[in-house]
Structures are given as C-alpha cells and as structure tokens.
Structure 1
Amino acid sequence: MVLSPQLARKRFGNEVRRQRDLAGITQTQLGRRANLSQAFIGAIERGEKAPKRDKVVLVDAALNTKESLLSLWDSLFSPNGLSAYYRDIAVLEREASEIREYRLCALPGLLQTEEYARAFIRVGRPAASSEQVEEAVRARIGRQSVLDAEKSHTIYALVLDEAVLRHVVGDPEIMARQLERLLAVARQPNVSVQVIPYGTRNHPGLDGSFLLITVPERGQVVYTETRASGTPVEDSATTNDYARVFGDLRGAALPGEASQDYIRKIMEEYAR
C-alpha cells in the first residue's frame, strides 16, 4: 500500500527510533556514529523530514540493522519499485531519442531477464522481503518497453566490458538465458552492442559505468550512480566529456558482429 508522504515519514521515523532504542543509544550518539546532527536525527524520528537514501545508508550502518532500514525506506518512498533517485532517469529514458550506455560490471536493467534481475536484486538487497524484490523486478522489466523494436524510435548503443559477461549472476543456466536475450536484442535495428575483451590495452572505461541520454529539446544528460544514490548532470562540459569517452569505448570494443560472436561463445560455455 502506498502511504501519504506524512504517514510514510512517520512510519520511517518510528522505525528509526525503535532501532535506536534497541541499540541503547541516544540521538546524539547515533548522530555521531552516522556523522549527522542530533537535530537531523530528531527530525527524522518525529516524521518531520524524509532523509535522502544516502543518509539512510549511514544510519542503517550506524545501527547495524543489516539494511532493514534501507529496505523500509525503499518500500515507503519508492513504492513503484524504482529507487527514488532513478525515477527521473526512467522518465528521460522514455523521452530519449538516443541512449548510450557503458557497463563495467553488470548488465543494464534495460536488457536484464526477469531471473537475472531477481538474482541481482536479491544479492544486492539481502534484507528485502520477497514482495519488495518482486516489485523491483517488475519495475525494472517495465522500463524495457523503451527498446521495443515495433514501437520505439530510441537508438540504444551499449558497450560492455567482458567482466559483465563473466560475472555469474544466479547460476550458469540463468547466465546462458540472459546472454541469449542480449543477443536477441542486439539484432534489433535500433540497438548496437559491443564488447571490450579482457586484455584490451589502455581501457578507457575503468573508472566506472555511466548512462548518456539525449532528449529532444533538452540535450544530453549523463547519469552515474553508487549503491546509495544517483547523479544526473546536464552541464555541457561534463556531457561532452562523457560523449568523448563513449566514443573511445566504442573504438576500443570489438565491432558489432564480432561482439555478437564473442557473446555467443561465452553463452555456449555457460550452456555446457
């Protein structure tokens, strides 16, 4: 059930107070542990303030709740299954004329199968309930309509590090089916997928994944994220720099057909 903002803040504040009481510490002590002010902790507990997710990460760690506070925050303030910091990006994905994405460690949500997404989310959110996991899976799969070959006019260019294909999410069978899905999407006329193999010299993308979205009448938006938060940037100097890096990544990667052959080879290894 989706609560009103006021009730959501109140419920979250009550749980923070309960966890703090269980820990046997004061608001001031919690603030010191989380590097936050006592006034900020008090405002949360009274339901006056809804903290941003990165602050919840700090409180969760300070109280050693094993991400139960984080899971509660996600369910209360991201009831559609999307992290609060990703909602605006999901809107931009639907409006985009072009999406360029580079992934260093895991497949992007736009291409994940349900079972890959479920395994990935479960590992990343061990304290989440089954309902919360399934809600997040539905939200992730729901975003994929932006790449529908019959309905979408969005151009999607993806560059993957080989590590994305080698990290086993779930089990080898899940990976084989996931790479089969990746190959199917790669054959769409509006999609290109390239792989940067292990051993590539002077790899231009070792500092992390990013998403570069082009929206008509708005321009480019670059998006990067951490476990706790996401950052969209529209500054032209920054977006142009990321566009340059993406060009370098495409140059370092195998061409499209060779990349598909490479993905197929790894898929067959999983299927043995």
Structure 2
Amino acid sequence: MAECAGSTLPRRQLGKHLRNGREAVGLTLADVGALMEWSISTVQRLEVGKTGRIRLVDVEALCRIYEFSDEFTEVLKGLACQAAGQSWWHEYGDLIPEHFDVFVDLESSAHALTWYELELVPGIVQTPAYASALIRAGYPAEPAGEHDRRVKLRMRRQTLITRSNVPVQIDITLRESVLRGVVGGPRVMAGQLRHLADLSTRPNVTVRILPFAAGFPMGVAMGPFVIIEPRKTTRRQPPEPTVVYVESYTGDLYLEKPVAVARYAQAHQKLRQVALDDERSRALLRRVAKEYGT
C-alpha cells in the first residue's frame, strides 16, 4: 500500500484542505471517523497535520467523500507525498500539478507578506496590462481565453489587499531595477508605477525602493524572497509557522526552520534601512512614471 511519511508544511496544507472539504459537505469529525472506520482523534490529527503516516488510499477515499474533483484529488495526493523535513522544495511539474499554485494557496491565508524583489513587480500588486505582458511572454502560444483567465486570477489576488475586512499587511522593498526594467512598453510601465504609488497610500501597504546608490548592503547579491506570516488560528487549530518563499526558474523553496526565517527577516530589515523612506519612494515611483509617460 502506498504511504507517505513525514513532512511539515505540505502536511498542514493537506490537512487544511481536507478540513475545508469536510466542513463544505456538512460532516463532523465523528461522521468522517465512522465512514473511514477511524477514531475522531485520527481524523483530527490528519486535519492539523499531525498524522504519523498518510496512506494515499485514505486520501483518495476522503476526496471521494468530500466530492473533490479528480484534478484536485491529484493535488492533495501530491501534497501527501512531499518529502519530509523542514524545507520543502516544490519542483514544477513534479508530484503536485503545475496548475496548482502552492504560493497563492499560502498567500490567501496570510496575515502579512514581506517582499523583496529586484527584477519584477510582485504579482499581487501588478496592473492587468503589466501582468498580461508577462503572461504573454511566458505562454506565447496560449489561446486568448486561457490568457485572460490567468490575468483575472492574478487580479483576484489583489482583493487580499483592498478588502475592507482585515486586509493583508504588505511590506514591499523593490530594487530600483524593477522600475527601470521595461515590461510591456512605456505606457504599461507608467501605469504600473502609478498603481504602486497609489497602493502605497493605503494604511496596510508599504512600498520602499532600494536605489542603485545603496549598492549591495548584504555584501552579496540577494535573490527575491517573500516572508509569509500566517493569520492567528483558533484554539482548535495549532499555530502555523512563518514561512519564507524563495522562487526559482525550475521550482519553489519553502523554508520554515526558525533560524532560516530569522536570517531572511534580518536581511529584509537591513535592506529596508538603506531603502528610501515611504514618501521618497512614492515620489520616485511617480517621477519615473512621468518619464515613461513623456
């Protein structure tokens, strides 16, 4: 019988989706225990990511009970089979289907997101035109309908920032190269930079620019990263750890060891200290936007 042992973050993600599925069909822990011939505590441990072993046949059975699609069932089976350890490498096209964006899944339940980018505007604050240009470059042969769907999905993420009920706290530090690297042409860049400047006036959004003149304050070339701080959980659920997301061309790395998270938090603080303050960053965004508009 296929089994998957160990794991931390993917195990908790699996448990979250199974709990949501159970609640969506109106079943209690006892109901599921009876259907699976498990104790209530076994169901509960699985939902909070504390199960010692996860059998794929059990995941498949739960997915049938919760009426999950075949596609989503494959996602959850992939989560169940991710390797053990404190760091989780998700390679594109491996156990988890490529269409399932693990980062967006984590982002949707975050309390705060701390970003450092040196080439591109983060997806969660992109304009439709900027996002469209990047998606078209990445998927040049894609049908128009699928292209539009990808753009709409990316725009939907911005409701995390703009919603009236407990919006996500966003702290973004952008290297000045993000402002100078042209995506989609001058008009698109002008609109994108104005959008960033406007968003930075919101109380839950901070955008700071690290100017070229700041050099390399870490003494090394830092790649992009995101620190994902989770929302507080209820008493029934164990607290989620802060996670650092590091993206590469071939896959994503999720770090949750406290030492690793602390190093990235310290790096962000150092970068932020030498970045322009909020007002000067906003002024630079608007000034460069005007340059593109002329």
TM-score with structure 2 length normalisation? 0.63
Where structure 2 has 5 or more consecutive residues not aligned to the other structure, the ranges are: 1-68, 75-89, 233-238
Question: Which residue, 153, 177, 180 being the options, matches 1:166?
Answer: 180
Q: Which amino acid aligns with 1:224?
A: V
What corresponds to 1:119 in structure 2? 133
Aligned equivalents of 1:104, 1:218: Cα separation in 2: 28
1:221–1:234 contact (8 Å) kept in structure 2 = yes
Q: Which amino acid aligns with 1:213?
A: I
After superposition, the Cα gap between the structure-2 partners of 1:266 and 1:141, relative to the gap in structure 1 and judged at 3 Å, is: same
What corresponds to 2:250 in structure 1? 228
Q: Which amino acid aligns with 2:244?
A: V
Aligned equivalents of 2:246, 2:171: Cα separation in 1: 17
| Correspondences of 1:5-16 after superposition (within 5 Å) | 5=71
What corresponds to 1:206 in structure 2? 221
Q: Deviations over 1:163-196 (max 9, x none)?
A: 1111111010111111111111100001111001
What corresponds to 1:53 in structure 2? 92
Aligned equivalents of 1:156, 1:55: Cα separation in 2: 30
Q: Which amino acid aligns with 1:211?
A: V
2:186–2:293 contact (8 Å) kept in structure 1 = yes
| Correspondences of 1:70-109 after superposition (within 5 Å) | 77=97, 83-84=99-100, 86-87=101-102, 89-109=103-123
Where structure 1 has 5 or more consecutive residues not aligned to the other structure, the ranges are: 9-50, 57-72
Q: Deviations over 1:174-222 (max 9, x none)?
A: 1111111111110000111100111323333733100101113213100
Aligned equivalents of 2:246, 2:168: Cα separation in 1: 20
Q: Deviations over 1:235-261 (max 9, x none)?
A: 111111110111011012001101111
Q: Deviations over 1:56-81 (max 9, x none)?
A: 9xxxxxxxxxxxxxxxx9xxx45xxx
Q: Secondary structure at the match of 1:199?
A: helix
What corresponds to 2:152 in structure 1? 138
Q: Which amino acid aligns with 1:166?
A: R
What RMSD in Å do the two structures reach over aligned CA positions? 2.7
Q: Between Structure 1 and Structure 2, how many residues are aligned?
A: 205
Q: Which amino acid aligns with 2:185?
A: D
Q: Which amino acid aligns with 1:98?
A: A
Measure how far apart 1:121 and its partner are. 1.1
Aligned equivalents of 2:209, 2:268: Cα separation in 1: 13
Measure how far apart 1:143 and its partner are. 1.0
Aligned equivalents of 1:53, 1:95: Cα separation in 2: 22
| Correspondences of 1:255-270 after superposition (within 5 Å) | 255-270=277-292
Q: Which amino acid aligns with 1:245?
A: A
Q: Which amino acid aligns with 1:206?
A: A
After superposition, the Cα gap between the structure-2 partners of 1:5 and 1:151, relative to the gap in structure 1 and judged at 3 Å, is: closer
2:117–2:178 contact (8 Å) kept in structure 1 = yes
Question: Which residue, 67, 70, 74 being the options, matches 1:4?
Answer: 70
Measure how far apart 1:131 and its partner are. 2.6
Q: Which amino acid aligns with 2:260?
A: T
More displaced stretch, 125-134 vs 261-270:
125-134
Q: Which amino acid aligns with 1:219?
A: P
Q: Secondary structure at the match of 1:219?
A: coil
Q: Which amino acid aligns with 2:226?
A: L
Runs (4+) of structure 1 exceeding 6 A deviation are: none
* Structure showing the higher helix proportion among its residues: 1
Q: Secondary structure at the match of 2:212?
A: coil
Q: Which amino acid aligns with 1:125?
A: Y
1:104–1:206 contact (8 Å) kept in structure 2 = no
TM-score with structure 1 length normalisation? 0.68
